[in-house]
Structure 1
Amino acid sequence: MNTLTGRSPSRLYIGVDIGKDRLDLAATDFRLSVENNCAGWNKILANTRKLKRHVHFVCEPIGHYGGAFIRFLHARNKVVSLIPGIRARSFARATGQLAKGDRLDAEILAELGRRLKPPPTRKPKKTESELRAVMRCRFQLLRCCATEERYAVTIRYPKIRRILEPVIQAMKAQGRALDDLSLKVVSRDDVLFKKFHAFCNVSGVGEVTARTVLSELPEIGSLNRRKIASLAGLAPYSKDSGSTAAPRHIQGGRRKVRPALFMAALAASQRNPVLAPFYKRLRARGKLHRVALTAVMRRLLVYLNSLARKIDQDAMAPKPPPTATAKTKRNWIRAALSKRAHVKGRRICRRVHNAVT
């Protein structure tokens, strides 16, 4: 099977398999393998520039190994599409490609780009990238702290427990420091801070939930209710066949945002003036506790998405020019009169000057 791509004269899809040490690229009549560092990335740009075509890179998001490379491409205004690994692997099986390797994976990604034409991945803002890095570091640190606390309970020897206690306290202190750092990052962006403040005003949503949603779902406000629920992994998918109607289940999505939304939904189901009656109605209809909470999570996320959309629309709306004071007008007129303008321009400026003074 020939999985080579790029027959379109307008756009060339290049698959990139990202590894720890190397990057493998494949397209039609194009093969390249470079080191995963700045010198290798510049070599990729130099070789793709010789093709004299619109290049569209297709990669898999594999964490910190490829994060720097993706930021490098975005900084140079290159078109990049990030494809989930499970989607790329399913596409390979659908095309009959069962073997796996670095070069083969790059060819499969290029073939996927040519056939499916995935949309470009949006370039994240600097504050969004910083907030995501801080929140993920906090998540990892608190998870390690919880593991050490569970381990400390089972220790029989007091000396070992005394050694672990300062470590646990230090982890908690670092977690609080990361909370403060995330608040500083949010406050540097006006739109991000407005979203954070609006989310925190919703009954049941705390600061941690608001920061987690903003870091893990930067697309919030730009998608409709179905897409944002699917992106968070809260969309119920059907598995019907013939006369069989199986129960719907949620799956996929970004898993780090669901625990935060679950705790927010748990609080909102008890005190939120809109979601609490909604939760009680579902329970009265015989829905299980987890099923009703999942529905509350989705409705809560949809409402947060509507709040973020309104804030984005207000930020993009043209703002009226600020009203100039009399002193500002006099300074502007004085500067206009001092320039060597045409006679007509001088007459207009003097007329305005006389009207103001």
Structure 2
Amino acid sequence: MKPLKLCIGIDVSKDTLVCCKGSLDPGNRISFSKPRSFSNDHEGFAQLSGWIKEESCPEIRFVMEATGVYYENLAYWLDSRGSQLSVILPGKIKHYAKSLNIKTKTDTVDARILSRIGLERKLDSWKMPSGAMREIKFLSREYREVKAKLVVSKNQLHAKMHSYGCPPSVEKRLKKQIGLLETQLLEIEAEIRKTVMADNTLYDRINRIVTIPGVGFMTVMSILSETNAFVLVKNAKQLVSYAGLDIQHNRSGLKEGKTKISKRGNSFIRNALYMPALCASKRNPSMKVFYNRLIERKPAKKIGITAVARKLLILIYTLWKNNEEFEPERKRSRQTDDLPTQDEHNVLLQ
């Protein structure tokens, strides 16, 4: 019997692709094939394509888990050939497996779970980032890494300068290292700006967002590159969850556990927002009022900074979506203006 839908679940590792074909027949019955393994390279991709060509089905979808960077080569290869592809976050697959009461975790089991979720649910298709956005993502992550090294080197220099009997050669090398890292930061930022300025539309939209007090060019570029310019973001709630700034409750009966942010999301976005939130809480008039009202209700600065970071993220998304500049006096929706609920006061920042 000809299947109505065919879904290929692919469990990706550094060297191997474990694949399982799942099919849905006209009677809504689901069946799975015996898993096959292929190498995670172009030769393996071609063999996988040949394996799928054996099937005749009007709808074929590939489903894989976002496992670091190892899935990317196959994802780009499939997308370039017009295949329907969905890439799912690991947390979503984990909870789906729990709902099936599956306790075993192997590559073959994971491939079957990915195939099943593709058959049972309507999944969003993966959108390939543009060449410019891919380049900006690499550069913005490198910028954060170099900046972290610079902070470490400066702290080491401070410690050496205040230590007794530290050889001058040690200080000299550290200062040289700091100079090199500072030069690299300038080079990376210049390269990002050059890439952005090549696209006039992108450049204009970014200039509108940086009108937010406390939000700089590199912060905006980090958030845009990590979200692929919000291509798959449907609403602010989804974006907050993707950044790991959503609230995680811990209550049951008489138990009143600790409520905090989930941190189950993109840590690069949270890191990029921390300093802008700190700056906005002091320099941005509307954010300063918002922050001070939070602190008055509960004197915990970390909670206030987290709330400001989340508010900034939603504001950036709103301005990008509407292609607008920041207007301090404009009344915005309740979603971005109102104080958090009592539970949100218990949010903790990484």
**TM bucket by the smaller chain?**
0.7 to 0.9
Q: 2:288 aligns with which of 276, 285, 291?
A: 276
Aligned to 2:315: 303
Aligned to 1:29: 33
Shift of 1:267: 1.1
Q: 2:9 aligns with which of 5, 12, 15?
A: 15
Structure 1 unaligned blocks of 5 or more = 1-6, 313-357
CA distance in 1, matches of 2:227, 2:2: 33
Shift of 1:49: 2.3
Relative to structure 1, the CA distance from residue 247 to residue 25 in structure 2 (aligned partners, 3 Å threshold; closer, same or farther) is same
**Within 5 A, what are the aligned runs for 1:183-202?**
183-202=193-212
The answer to whether the 8 A contact 1:17-1:105 is kept is yes
Q: Which residue identity does 2:183 align to in structure 1?
A: A
Cα deviation code 1:103-150 (max 9, x no counterpart): 232222222323344322222222221211111122223333444444
For 1:183, what is the secondary structure of its paired residue?
helix
Aligned to 1:215: 225
Cα deviation code 1:241-262 (max 9, x no counterpart): 2355555321122111112212
**Within 5 A, what are the aligned runs for 1:346-357?**
none
Shift of 1:295: 1.5
Q: Which residue identity does 1:14 align to in structure 2?
A: I
CA distance in 1, matches of 2:129, 2:213: 29
Relative to structure 1, the CA distance from residue 8 to residue 174 in structure 2 (aligned partners, 3 Å threshold; closer, same or farther) is farther
| TM-score normalised to structure 1 length | 0.77
Relative to structure 1, the CA distance from residue 158 to residue 86 in structure 2 (aligned partners, 3 Å threshold; closer, same or farther) is farther
Aligned to 1:131: 136
Aligned residues: 306
**Within 5 A, what are the aligned runs for 1:153-302?**
156-220=166-230, 222-242=233-253, 246=257, 248-251=259-262, 252-302=264-314
Shift of 1:209: 1.1
CA distance in 2, matches of 1:304, 1:167: 35
Shift of 1:158: 4.3
Cα deviation code 1:210-245 (max 9, x no counterpart): 111111123538532222222222222333323555
Q: Which moved more, 1:186-195 or 1:227-236?
A: 186-195
CA distance in 1, matches of 2:204, 2:255: 47
Rg comparison, structure with higher value? 1
Relative to structure 1, the CA distance from residue 92 to residue 236 in structure 2 (aligned partners, 3 Å threshold; closer, same or farther) is closer
The answer to whether the 8 A contact 2:2-2:56 is kept is no
CA distance in 2, matches of 1:24, 1:111: 15
Structure having the larger proportion of residues in helix: 1
**Identity over the aligned pairs, expressed in percent?**
26
| TM-score normalised to structure 2 length | 0.78
